[in-house]
Amino acid sequence: MSKKFIKKWAEPEKMGIKEAIRPPKPLRPRIEQAARRLDVQIQRLEQESSRLTARDKSMFAKIVDAYTNHDTQRANVLANELTEIRKMEKFMTHAELALEQVVLRLNTVSELGDTVITLAPAVSVLQSVRVGISGILPGVEKELGLVGTMLSEIIMESGQGTGMTLDFGAANEDAQKILEEAAIVAEQRVKQRFPEFPEGVPSPGGQLSIRKDSTEP
């Protein structure tokens, strides 16, 4: 690692007049700030998951009551609604787990300084989560966009400081692995958390996805 990058990692670099008016911040505190902001969004996703879990329990009780009263038509309608709730619950859990992996990577960067290789897949994951929750949690969507921009700027500055170039294909492949692993764990958690649906009701699905041909960092 170059001495120039080490200095930029820990303290602002001396620049020209333009930068003197608004000097760039060192990389480490900016990455730590991004991690803290993502922790807040993870908490918001956890709160939404808790709200959906409460709705699930209430809806499931109504289904049981409808079957007890032999009202199969109402039971089926409620079961379909519950299927959609569980799709959303799995989606929220998937997004939460994916963001936790991003935060883990940011903490790793704070220790190793390997910014370009480590942050590029994280930015792709953020973009995927952001697209997935578009229109569902606009506050989270906006914040993820801002954090993604922060990390993209850090990647550019790091590349200039180390002379490294970004392999977009490898970055997106790594991001896809993060999302797929999060999807598997989310599926397991949802199955453990909720009781089985009545026979004949379709299982909940839906997960985040990222295009492998994406060229954005």
- SS3 of 102-144: the string is HHHHHHHHHHHCCHHHHHHHHHHHHHHHHHHCCCCCHHHHHHH
Are 66 and 72 a contacting pair, CB within 8 Å?
yes
* Structural domains of the chain, ranges and CATH numbers in brackets: 26-193 (1.20.58.920)
Q: What does the block give as tokens for 131? A: 């697209």
Quote the pLDDT of residue 24: 55
| Predicted TM-score of the model (pTM) | 0.75
Cα–Cα nearest to 116, from 163, 60, 68: 163
Ordered per-residue pLDDT tens for the chain, 217 residues: 445 444 555 555 454 444 444 555 678 888 999 999 999 999 999 999 999 999 999 999 998 888 888 888 898 899 889 989 988 999 999 999 999 999 998 888 755 556 777 888 899 999 999 998 988 899 999 999 999 999 998 888 776 544 445 555 666 788 888 898 998 998 888 888 777 755 544 444 455 665 555 444 4
Contacts of 117 (CB under 8 A, 6+ apart): 164
Going by the DSSP 8-state scheme, the letter that residue 22 receives in this structure is S
**Cα–Cα dist 24/8, whole Å:** 9
